[in-house]
Amino acid sequence: MPRPLIHDSRTARVIGGPAARTSNRTGARIHTGPRSESYLRALRALDGSGNLAAAKVDEFLDDLRREFTERHHALPSGIVGTCYLGAPFEVHTLALDGSIIEHYRHGEALPGRLEEARALASSPIYLAVEVYPDRFVCTRPDGSTVVLGGGA
């Protein structure tokens, strides 16, 4: 009998509701409740065109930072999502430290823990995967989230 991938407290945890929060290894609170419409719009805009003007990138980063910092939550170290620019690209990443948006080709390695999120981000089930030091927060297209890792 196959082991369920979700609801197995040793490997994954599903968290929902607007008040859902957990802490990471450093004690910073991680918002795991539903994501706002403005955040979802910002994530979808990432692949709106092959070239985003510098002002649009800054606006995009501001929307993403606002989603986390206005609620006094930890910022993810990066976000990975499916790239819709077409072949040869597979996923894109965004670091909220001001780094540029990167689009990665099939088989091209992503830096650090972002590579671990690649398979999740490539799934049509998720709009994007937020990468934290000890867990992933997977955002569905409707804004609901699934938390993987970090303990129960």
Q: Model-level pTM? A: 0.72
Q: For residue range 6-59, list pLDDT tens digits in order.
A: 333 333 333 333 334 445 444 456 777 889 888 888 788 776 554 555 667 677
pLDDT at residue 83, rounded to an integer: 85
For the chain, domain boundaries = 12-149
What φ, ψ does residue 105 adopt, rounded to 5°? -80, 160
Q: For residue range 59-69, list pLDDT tens digits in order.
A: 777 777 777 77
54-69 helix and 37-45 helix, angle to the nearest 10 degrees:
150
Count Cβ atoms within 10 A of the Cβ of residue 133 and give its class: 0-12 exposed, 13-18 middle, 19 or more buried: middle
